[in-house]
């Protein structure tokens, strides 16, 4: 089956006949095609493989075989569209995510057949749109960029950003500020100060956090031993002076 450079419809594999998702695809035309490898072709170089968690648990080898077949084609976008139809879905989704990574697919979840249909319609409707269509518009001035960064730390708001900018003058000084300096900023409560400080100083991983805590514990222990040694030396010096 040769795919034209532009298509006005979703091409559906015959193996998807009977899938309840199809009855909800109403805003974009679609049709069955026998000689198509993916379950859905939503663009000249975009496709989707469909799986439900329940079906994956019944036939765990099916999906990997299908993804291997899809991976052999020259697709720019491969979507693994998963219908979450079970409450106990954490472990199955972990396995599906690993398969998606292995076969260079984007895992997208739908919690109903209707939602899965809407996702397919969106893939088709926006196939020629660039990422800028959904990208947040951010002004290029310094304060706007600073606001965009710092407000990702909850619950820092725009007013807090203005206060931080006036107090420290630059993003670098905000990052390097200690807790006392942050507490001196008007309007920043203990929660905001802690969250902001942790965002720039707390390790990203638990392992790194444990290593940092271990280094701090050893450093504190060495300082304590040093203080004890100095105290003993001072006592010995005092005894010798008395004698």
pTM for this prediction: 0.58
pLDDT value for 138 = 67
pLDDT value for 5 = 47
Q: What is the pLDDT of residues 150-177, one digit of tens each?
A: 999 988 999 999 999 999 999 999 999 9
> Mean pLDDT score of the chain, rounded to an integer?
88
Cα–Cα distance between 215 and 219 in angstroms, integer? Answer: 6
pLDDT lower than 50: segments of the chain:
5-6
The continuous run of DSSP H or E covering 231 comes out as helix 206-242
Instruction: Give the orientation angle of helix 142-150 with respect to helix 158-168, to 10 degrees.
Output: 120
CB atoms within 10 A of CB 140: 6
Angle at 32 between CA 30 and CA 35, to 5 degrees: 130
Distances (CA, A) of 122 to 96, 109, 152, 201, 241: 22, 14, 28, 40, 88
User: In the numeric block, which tokens belong to residue 140?
Assistant: 């290029």
pLDDT value for 127 = 83
Q: What is the pLDDT of residues 44-87, one digit of tens each?
A: 889 999 999 999 999 999 999 999 999 988 898 999 999 999 99
pLDDT value for 243 = 63
Q: CB of 143 within 8 A of CB of 165? A: yes
């Amino acid at each position: 089956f040769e795919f034209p450079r532009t298509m006005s419809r979703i091409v559906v594999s015959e193996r998807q006949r009977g899938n309840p998702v199809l009855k909800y695809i109403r805003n974009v035309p679609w049709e069955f095609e026998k000689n198509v490898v993916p379950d859905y072709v939503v663009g000249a170089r975009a496709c989707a493989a469909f799986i439900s968690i329940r079906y994956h648990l019944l036939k765990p080898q099916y999906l990997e075989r299908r993804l291997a077949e899809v991976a052999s084609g020259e697709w720019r976008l491969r979507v693994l569209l998963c219908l979450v139809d079970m409450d106990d879905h954490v472990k199955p989704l972990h396995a599906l995510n690993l398969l998606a990574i292995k076969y260079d697919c984007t895992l997208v979840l739908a919690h109903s057949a209707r939602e899965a249909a809407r996702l397919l319609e969106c893939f088709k409707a926006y196939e020629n749109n660039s990422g800028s269509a959904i990208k947040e518009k951010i002004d290029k001035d310094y304060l706007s960029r600073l606001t965009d960064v710092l407000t990702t730390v909850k619950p820092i708001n725009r007013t807090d950003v203005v206060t931080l900018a006036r107090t420290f003058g630059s993003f670098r000084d905000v990052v390097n500020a200690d807790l006392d300096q942050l507490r001196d900023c008007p309007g920043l409560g203990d929660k905001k100060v802690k969250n902001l400080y942790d965002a720039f100083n707390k390790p990203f991983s638990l392992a790194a956090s444990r290593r940092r805590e271990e280094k701090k514990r050893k450093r504190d222990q060495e300082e304590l031993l040093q203080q004890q040694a100095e105290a003993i030396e001072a006592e010995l010096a005092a005894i010798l002076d008395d004698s």
